[in-house]
Amino acid sequence: MNFATWPTLLVVDVEGNGTNPPDLVEVAALPIRDGRPDTSTAGAWLIRPPRPVTPAPPASTG
């Protein structure tokens, strides 16, 4: 497989605070270049939600 022909991709992960509907509390992004993760430009950011984070996650997060 020739990874050099792959387009640049961006993998994004988001986390919520367990409320319904959830508030965003963290975002992470990882670029994929030439079929490989580019950890030199990856990032993660914490976000302060408008409501407190619940003490325990729900039993099933999907």
Q: Which of 39, 42, 40, 44 is nearest to 28 (CA)?
A: 44
What's the predicted TM-score (pTM) here?
A: 0.71
What would the pLDDT profile of 2-60 be if each residue is shown by its tens digit? Answer: 777 888 899 999 998 877 888 888 999 999 998 889 999 999 999 987 777 767 655 66
The predicted pLDDT at position 51 comes to 75
The helices-and-strands tally (H runs, E runs) of the chain is 0, 4
- Chain centre distance of CA 53: 17
Q: What is the pLDDT of residue 10?
A: 95
Distance of alpha carbon 26 from the chain centroid: 7
**Residue count (the chain):** 62
Q: According to the model, what pLDDT value does residue 39 have? A: 95
